[in-house]
Structure 1
Amino acid sequence: MVSNALHDLWFGFGVAFQGSNLMWSFFGVLVGNLIGVLPGMGALSAISILLPLTYVMHPVPAILMLAGIFYGSQYGGAIGAILLNLPSHPPHAVTCIDGYPMTKAGKGGTALGITMICSFFAASVGILVMIFASPLLTTIAFKFGPAEIFSIMLLGLLAGSTMSRGSPLKGVAMTLFGLLCGVVGTDVNTGTFRFALGIPELSDGLELVAIAMGLFGVADFILNVNRMTAVTSNAKLRIRDMRPSLAELKEAFWPMVRGTGVGTLFGAMPGTGPTITTFVAYALERKISKTPEKFGTGMIAGVAAPEASSHSKTQVDFIPTMSLGIPGDAVMALILGALMIQGIAPGPQLISDHPDIFWGLIASFWIGNVILMILNVPMIGVWVKLLQVPYRYLFPSAMFFIAVGVFSTQSSLFQIWEVLAFGLIGALLMYLEFSVAPILLGFVLGPMVEENFRRALLLSRGDLAVFVERPISCTFVVISAMLLAGVTWSAWRNRGPKKTAIQVLESELAVNE
């Protein structure tokens, strides 16, 4: 088996190194990297714009170009999230939580260096998984029905609601708010409007990109609108500052490994988007950390784990897309559409019927990730120098790109108003010391939780026991119950003696005296 895989991989490198294929792969990585850096832009916008170009291209270079845009934008999106607190791609929203505080502390170059190392490591692991474990993961993916998907989404919600700093009750409240935002629009089963307030533009629900950019980009601008100096006064602008120290590498190693494992697991499951992957990886690191209260202040683990999970999932995502025809998110749906435009039907027979596409794509992943490192090493200084741009110039420009990027997704001015609305909401919540990250998680998982819950009950004719009768589902339900019990026990153990109103008044008088 190993010898056959290596032989096929060698054949794939021969395909990927062909002149036209290599040129289009490089073009895709370059465009993806540049698009990922721009606030408000992302892989979805770039692939949507370039999709008509694939009509007149050969299938192999067309798919290599689109794939290059996909994983190229992953690293580019991390740059904007770390340096500017602007996630151009929703999965990078969680990177803002610790990446941006590292930038404000003068460690933006270190965060970018950690991101580069994690991306290459995770992508390499994802590629190896595609080569050697594709048949096994495809078999496992078939075992995930509605009950299993609901259970794992429930676990993600519980983990996300407790990942925010401060009161767990605030985290739960923000997750519930995200769930409410997720059910706005047309009910999939009945076709009726829900919580649309009579606004026709809300019939398709709220836009994920608009919510992410509003909560993490516009909200930060509103809170810092009067700050006219650079982002940080002690910004390191030397290229060598991107090289992490040995201690920082040790601190990032195990979060990188665990994040890669999370991304690989979720990448093998069809229908799960990349945003849930990064949030689960971040929540896992916060749960097992000895200092969870430091997350959100610039922890290296808070950058390494979600970025590794994002890049490993990006590679493994192609397994259910190409072998089952089930895309993991909107970007993979576009790539799936590009295959069908070329007259290629994704499925178990794709590897044998079109080995040049499958193995050429796998080989191009490694080539593309090497190109990414070559491109970004000399350009790190350029990204870090963005820190010297005053806010009065930087954020109006960022707002412009946000508006252009959001408008380009569906050519709707209404979505720009969505960005502004969620920017105001996010600024208010952040001012009140609420964490806005669980809102995005609840919004992403809410529709999936509801849909799979209702589907599982329909198949079981209303029997709730279906969630504990199936082994995989039961495992995730038990883990969810243990997590909930652990949070409750931790809150009970850390509770302090409550002061009466008289005691509070006496303490205040003592302070005044």
Structure 2
Amino acid sequence: METFLSNLSLGFSVALGLQNLGLAFLGCLVGTLIGVLPGVGPVATIAMLLPITFSLDPTGSLIMLAGIYYGAQYGGSTTAILVNIPGEATSVVTAIDGHEMAKKGRAGAALAVAALGSFFAGSVATLVIAALGAPLTRVALMFGATEYFSLMIMGLVLAVVLAGGSVLKAVAMILVGILLSTVGTDLETGDERMTFGLIFLSDGIDFAVLAMGIFGVAEIMRNLAQPESRDVVRKPIGRLLPNREELRQSWAPVLRGTLMGSILGILPGNGAVLAPFASYAMEKKLAKDPSRFGKGAIEGVAGPESANNAGAQTSFIPLLTLGIPGNAVMALMVGAMTIQGIIPGPQVMTGNPSLFWGMIASMWVGNLMLLVINLPMVGLWVRLLKVPYRLMFPAILAFCCIGIYSINSLPTDVMLIGLFGLVGYLLIKCGFEPAPLLLGFVLGKLMEENMRRALILSRGSLSTFITEPISAGLLIVSAVLLVAAIIPNVRKGRDEMFVE
């Protein structure tokens, strides 16, 4: 307990530094803004802001990027309640009852419960990260190259299992990502791989270029292709403090949502996205009158909002302890750490404790900032909701080009983000999710490195991945999960074939 408190004390001494406080506030403010504005998500924003992290110290840059991520969860609820357009995938469920409350003149109560529930869930999730961080890091330090390779395989399989849509498409995206990670010069042999004789590819594909193209530029193209309609609530927002009855109805859903989000957020893949849906289903099942849901039940806002914020923060656990990104945002965080010369994994806690604990403490500080940013400034967010997207995208695109050019001063990087943007847009139109591609790209290099190291240690024997107990266990779990994900799709295809 004494060690735990001393670690938290170290974290707060780092997080409460003037520069880190400013960066946390900036991240939370930007996160709220992009959560409020439909069409601009945290993945695209973090991808666009990666070049800025070059000029910041590692701790400050990660604190800012983390603030953008969990800040977007707060902002997404504002859009969902007031406009019925979820700013984030995690806010889809909030829109169901939150917008109905807004149409009845109870938007203030919905926004307040969402903000208070999010603050409580974020605070609890921060303690969960702090409590689990040290034990999981000690376990991870027992892992060698063989175990790490198998762990990464399991992380990719979980990403497939929890991804929406076709399992086959998710697997295809991961394989494409791994293939792209091999482009460039082989560090061991010095041979060039898949460069097609192009000099600018000899160092491989830059992570920031791929991320900004696949998410940033592709997101702009996707939004421009869709008709824009925003049904901003015309009724008064109402008082920003819930009454006693609303608080009584909300406290239990907030507790249950926090617990569910904290557990599901740890799962690699899209566990944090599943949390609000699971919370909503649970609240509806436990309710004495389920017919209230969909008509403005405050429990349908309190539970899912707590779940999505708890899940967003506990999704940092696999990243900080094992070095495994659980979703697209965490993959971008790995990219940011790599840019700063930090190797994600258990060595972060042992080798750079001020970064590890400073980032955890900053999450609690950030949640407190978000509570202040969201409620008093709700009038400003309502006005911003009326800004047409066609006026924003030229500035966003220009920022992308300037940011990516500032990294290496290469015109080819600007052309590549355009190319990857077009590829990302086509993937979305064809029903492919770009997120598994980015996970495959990030983990591809690490997987190759650990596989080679494991084979060198075993003198080229592939049996090392089965004979090592931890590695074998991880591979068995991966195989079981993959089979469990594929079987329903096979049955569905067979049933459709018989129907025809």
**TM-score (structure 1 length as normaliser):** 0.67
Deviation track 1:83-119 (CA, whole Å, cap 9, x = no partner) reads 99xxxxxxxxxx9555579779986997984765544
Q: Which residue of 2 aligns with 1:329?
A: 334
State which drifts further: 120-129 or 100-109: 100-109
Structure 2 match to 1:490 = 488
Provide structure 1 residue ranges, at least 5 long, that are not aligned to the other structure: 52-61, 85-94, 263-276, 292-298, 322-327, 338-344, 505-513
In structure 2, the CA distance between the partners of 1:385 and 1:361, relative to structure 1 (3 Å rule), is same
CA distance in 2, matches of 1:249, 1:334: 38
Query: How many Å apart are 1:147 and its aligned residue?
Result: 1.1
Deviation at 1:250, TM superposition (A): 7.0
In structure 2, the partner of 1:157 is: 156
Specify the SS of the correspondent of 2:176: helix
8 A contact 1:256–1:305 mirrored in 2: yes
| 1:2-401 aligned within 5 A | 2-3=1-2, 5-6=4-5, 22-34=17-29, 42=46, 44-51=50-57, 65=60, 68-76=63-71, 97-99=89-91, 113=115, 118-129=121-132, 134=134, 136-225=135-224, 227=226, 229-230=228-229, 232-234=230-232, 238=237, 246=250, 249=254, 252-262=257-267, 277=268, 279=269, 281=271, 308=310, 311-312=313-314, 314=316, 329-332=334-337, 366-379=364-377, 382-383=380-381, 385-401=383-399
Closer, same or farther in 2 for the Cα pair 1:186/1:471, shift >3 Å?
same
Structure 2 CA distance for partners of 1:283 and 1:26, relative to 1, 3 Å: closer
Q: Distance in 1 between matches of 2:256 and 2:334?
A: 31
Q: Following TM superposition, by how much is the alpha carbon of 1:482 offset from its aligned partner in structure 2, in angstroms?
A: 0.6
What is the alpha-carbon distance in structure 2 between the residues aligned to residue 347 and residue 166 of structure 1? 36
* Residues 364 and 200 of structure 1, relative CA distance in 2, 3 Å threshold: same
Distance in 2, matches of 1:4 and 1:128, equals: 11
Identity of aligned residues (%): 30
Change in Cα spacing, 1:468 to 1:400, as seen in structure 2 (3 Å) is: same
**Superimposed CA distance per residue, residues 10-37 of structure 1 (whole angstroms, 9 cap, x where no aligned partner):** 6876x579xxx55334223123335555
Instruction: Quote the Cα distance in structure 1 between the aligned partners of 2:306 and 2:410.
Output: 35
Deviation per residue, 1:464-487 (Å, 9 max, x gap): 221122222111111011112213
Residues 28, 212 of structure 1: CA spacing in aligned structure 2 closer, same or farther, 3 A cutoff?
same
Q: Is the CA contact 2:25–2:366 (under 8 Å) kept in the aligned structure 1?
A: no
Q: Is the 8 A contact 1:186 1:192 kept in 2?
A: yes
- The separation in 2 between residues aligned to 1:105 and 1:446, in whole angstroms, is 41
After alignment, is 209-218 or 427-436 more displaced?
209-218
Matching residue's letter, 1:125: V
Partner of 2:437: 439
Tell me the distance in 2 between the aligned counterparts of 1:144 and 1:238.
Answer: 53
Residue identity opposite 2:23 in structure 1:
G
In the alignment of these two chains, the number of paired residues is 433
Q: Report the equivalent of 1:89.
A: none
CA deviation string 1:146-201 (max 9, x = no partner): 11111111112223234443332222222222222222222232222211222222
Aligned to 1:425: 423
Indicate how the Cα distance of structure 1 residues 434 and 329 shifts in structure 2: closer, same or farther if over 3 A, else same: closer
SS in 1 for 2:493: coil
Aligned to 1:225, what secondary structure does the other structure show?
A: helix
Shift of 1:333: 5.7
Q: CA deviation at 1:497?
A: 4.4
Cα distance in 2 between the residues matched to 1:242 and 1:476: 48
1:410 Cα offset (Å)? 3.6
Would the aligned equivalents of 1:155 and 1:476 in 2 still touch at CA under 8 Å?
Answer: yes
Question: CA distance change for structure 1 residues 392 and 4 in 2, over 3 Å: closer, same or farther?
Answer: closer
Is the 1:41–1:402 Cα contact (8 Å) retained in structure 2? Answer: no
CA 1:119–1:365: 2 relative to 1, 3 Å: closer
Q: How many angstroms does 1:427 deviate by?
A: 1.9
1:29 partner amino acid: A
CA distance in 2, matches of 1:224, 1:104: 22
1:273 paired residue number: none
CA apart distance, 1:254: 4.4
- Tell whether the 8 Å contact from 2:261 to 2:272 is kept in structure 1 after alignment: no
Deviates more, 1:40-49 or 1:444-453: 40-49
Report the more deviating stretch, 110-119 or 404-413: 110-119
Q: Which amino acid aligns with 2:477?
A: I
Report the secondary structure of 1:153's partner residue: helix
Q: Is the 8 A contact 2:119 2:368 kept in 1?
A: no
Q: 8 Å contact 2:154–2:477 — kept in the other structure?
A: yes
In structure 1, C-alpha distance between the alignment counterparts of 2:480 and 2:78, rounded to whole Å: 37
